[in-house]
Structure 1
Amino acid sequence: MATFNELLADTLRVRTLRLLRVDAGQRKEIIGRLRSLQQNLLGELAKADFGTRPDLQQARIDALLVNATELIRETYAGIRTWSKSQLRELAEIEAAFAKSTLNRTARTEIASRDVPAATLDILATQVAIDGSPAEAWWAKQAGDFRARFADLIVQGVPAGRKIDDLVKDTRKLGEMSRRNAEALVRTAVQKVANDARIESFRANRDIIKGIMQLSTLDGRTTVTCAAYSNATWDLDFNPIPPTKLPWNGGPPRHFNCRSTTTPITKSFRELGIDADELEPGVRASMDGDVPADLSFDDWLKSKDKSFQDDLLGVGKADLWRRGKLSMADLLDEQGRELTLAELKQRYS
């Protein structure tokens, strides 16, 4: 019989994978904007006539870079604004999901407190990734894009490089910007979702005593997340023995991190109730134990075929069952993205 905390962990593992489909939708939107930026820059290059006279050449280079700088600024400003609104909505959805999961698993209302709207605002606008705010990462990506494009032009044109060569390098630069943006979107989605759920757990500290990290254990797991697997902290983020590792902001702990957290509920006796089990008909025992460590691969194998198909998509699930796909392949949900509305309606 699964414990209450094991059922919670099971639900949150699924939720983390659902979010991969949400960030796929957000990545699609942002990649579309960056592709438009690339096309606009290529358009500026196509109509450029730098000539050979040094004085005219420099003036035309300067004019091109003024236009390019404005295009880059506008694109990334729009991305930052759009991303912030999406993250704010996600924070609200995930905080509500955490509360409803506690109640749905217990089959009674044990969690009654909501996360204040002001806290959710802060989570969405000040989301920190690898020690820096997401907005700072977007600003850095914009600055890097502008600097690299400027280097291509400033160094390439006087050296006599052909427009076709500059176009090829601009396309490569565009590909790099899209990869960087994908990593940032994926990590920001997981960070905001995880932090919103934690705030919901903290708001209901009368029934929850701690937090545990769940690391996806496969060939892509970093040493850091492997070391943090099943580490536990109290709701003030102090390590619970035998854990000695500091919280350090919690998951995601790096770009593209797939780790998440699960709550550790108090036992009935810790709640002042002289009982070991929930009411008849409820599957989980409320013993306060933390869930056992389990690799993602073994966890997914324990699920039935319909669950695997729904989670991964029929095609991927079939290939995974036949050993044709690695875990790394399974954890990329591009092509089956979910909108925030779909996430709220189907999985809350």
Structure 2
Amino acid sequence: MPTVNEQLQAAAISHAVDLQHLSNAEARKIIKLLNSVDSDLRAQLIAAIERLGAESYTARHLNTVLSSVLALNKEVYATIGEALTQSVLDIGHYEVGYQEALFRQVIPEQVIVQVDLASVSASQVREIALARPFQGRLLKEWLTGLEDNRAARIRDGIRMGMVEGQTTDQIVRRVMGIKADGYKDGLLERSRQDIDSMVRTAISHTAQGARDAFYKENDDIVGEVRWLSTLDNRTSAPCRLRDRLVYTNDANHAPVGHKVPWGAGPGRLHWCCRSTSLPIVRSYEELRLAKGLPESTRASMDGQVPQSTTYGAWLKAQSAARQDEVLGPVRGKLFRDGGLSIDSFYNDRGKYLSLDQLRERDAAAFSRAGL
């Protein structure tokens, strides 16, 4: 039977996968909100540029005619801010509840009744999500900065177009892009990319902060924490370096048996960090539990750091349904029957390959999988 720490490791990897799916969904939701004003923005841009006129163009006049455009930009970021604030708070509360439920599930009942399992308060979750900076700024500061950057891109696009003598339609296309290219050729595509990265980072920051808080509230049970990185072609060098390393469960997070610093911690080390942490529960002897517990219970509480399990190895051991849930049905079948590894689904720059690109790269894998 797996020990408590082995069960926690398997759960941590599985939970990290689920959080990535949640992060993907939240990023799509927020970008959809940003895109929801595109038609109004286009109409107001056209009206503003025509009012501006090449003959009367000045920086002051530009700001005047763009007032309705900038007001719309401010409004949509306010809506995004409300939605994202609620999302990160919900995720923080969920993470705390998940960790407590997990501990009660994997730690034997005879042990649970002897330890004082503590929780994390709503005010602590709120502080983690909204009052602690990530990548140098608070959530509200990032939102303000992204709003300002988008407004600057709109102004810059109009300025460049006016200087180059472009038509109204050409300027609008320069700012917003064209439908045939999925609007990715416009200056505002960068704003979508920026908010995508910010949403993912805010979520990982909040989820990891909630985990940290839960572990520290239960430092009599959790002696150390282990860094877990998702090892694939997208994994950053700093996270690869820290994968599987152990740290103390306190404010310092001192290295245990190595010299690599904790830094900002998993989920926060860099933008869009996907690393997570694994709690190492103290041994039966360290917890000073009552005598007379069954041998199986004592054995499950051995306190040992479990043997390393990579993301790929974990996924290999899951059911076909779970693999399809993580990878999608086609990639799941390629993973099971086509001989493709996790790394095969990415290029050398860590970009997820489309199914057409995968087929072009390794048609034999599709044949082996019967696809």
| Distance 1:131-1:284 versus aligned 2 partners, 3 A rule | farther
For residues 150-188 of structure 1, the C-alpha deviation after alignment (integer angstroms, 9 at most, x for no partner) is: 111123224311122212222212222111111111121
Report what 2:99 is aligned to.
98
Tell me the CA shift for residue 269 of structure 1.
Answer: 0.6
Alignment of 1:243-258 (within 5 A): 243-252=258-267, 253-258=269-274
Contact 1:183 1:255 in 2 (8 A): yes
Q: Mean alpha-carbon deviation: is it higher for 246-255 or for 315-324?
A: 315-324
Report what 1:69 is aligned to.
70
Q: Within the alignment, does 1:154 sit opposite 2:149 as a pair?
A: no
Q: Which amino acid aligns with 2:99?
A: A
Q: Which amino acid aligns with 2:206?
A: V
Contact 2:284 2:298 in 1 (8 A): no
| Distance 1:111-1:170 versus aligned 2 partners, 3 A rule | farther
Report what 2:300 is aligned to.
285
Tell me the CA shift for residue 17 of structure 1.
Answer: 0.9
Contact 1:38 1:174 in 2 (8 A): no
Of residues 197, 201, 215, the one that matches 1:187 is: 201
Report what 2:256 is aligned to.
241
Tell me the CA shift for residue 87 of structure 1.
Answer: 0.7
For residues 186-231 of structure 1, the C-alpha deviation after alignment (integer angstroms, 9 at most, x for no partner) is: 1211221111122111111221112111011122111100111122
* Distance (Å, rounded) in 1 between the aligned partners of 2:344 and 2:174: 29
Alignment of 1:295-334 (within 5 A): 295-321=310-336, 322-323=338-339, 326-327=342-343, 329=345
Equivalent position SS for 2:279: strand
Alignment of 1:223-238 (within 5 A): 223-236=237-250, 237-238=252-253
| Distance 1:51-1:229 versus aligned 2 partners, 3 A rule | closer
* Distance (Å, rounded) in 2 between the aligned partners of 1:276 and 1:155: 79
Q: Which TM-score applies when normalising by structure 2?
A: 0.80
Tell me the CA shift for residue 279 of structure 1.
Answer: 6.0
Q: Within the alignment, does 1:143 sit opposite 2:157 as a pair?
A: no
Report what 1:134 is aligned to.
139
Alignment of 1:43-62 (within 5 A): 43-47=43-47, 48-50=49-51, 52=53, 54-55=55-56, 61-62=62-63
Tell me the CA shift for residue 277 of structure 1.
Answer: 8.6
Q: Which amino acid aligns with 1:106?
A: I
For residues 220-256 of structure 1, the C-alpha deviation after alignment (integer angstroms, 9 at most, x for no partner) is: 1111001111222222233142132232221121112
| Distance 1:324-1:22 versus aligned 2 partners, 3 A rule | same
Unaligned residue ranges in structure 2 (runs of 5+): 177-185, 353-371
* Distance (Å, rounded) in 2 between the aligned partners of 1:316 and 1:64: 50
RMSD: 2.7
Tell me the CA shift for residue 276 of structure 1.
Answer: 12
Report what 2:19 is aligned to.
19
Contact 2:158 2:175 in 1 (8 A): no
Report what 2:365 is aligned to.
none
Contact 2:134 2:205 in 1 (8 A): yes
Q: Which amino acid aligns with 1:181?
A: I
Q: How many residues align?
A: 331
Q: Within the alignment, does 1:9 sit opposite 2:9 as a pair?
A: yes
Unaligned residue ranges in structure 1 (runs of 5+): 333-348
Where relative contact order (Cα < 8 A, 6+ residues apart) is larger, the structure is 1
Contact 2:96 2:210 in 1 (8 A): yes
| Distance 1:58-1:177 versus aligned 2 partners, 3 A rule | closer
Report what 1:209 is aligned to.
223
Report what 2:360 is aligned to.
none
| Distance 1:238-1:24 versus aligned 2 partners, 3 A rule | closer
Contact 2:153 2:188 in 1 (8 A): no
| Distance 1:66-1:302 versus aligned 2 partners, 3 A rule | same
Contact 2:201 2:273 in 1 (8 A): yes
For residues 274-310 of structure 1, the C-alpha deviation after alignment (integer angstroms, 9 at most, x for no partner) is: 8899664x69721111123332112211223233234
Report what 1:200 is aligned to.
214
Q: Which amino acid aligns with 2:35?
A: R
Tell me the CA shift for residue 140 of structure 1.
Answer: 1.7
User: Identity across aligned pairs (percent)?
Assistant: 27
Q: Mean alpha-carbon deviation: is it higher for 83-92 or for 171-180?
A: 171-180
| Distance 1:137-1:233 versus aligned 2 partners, 3 A rule | same
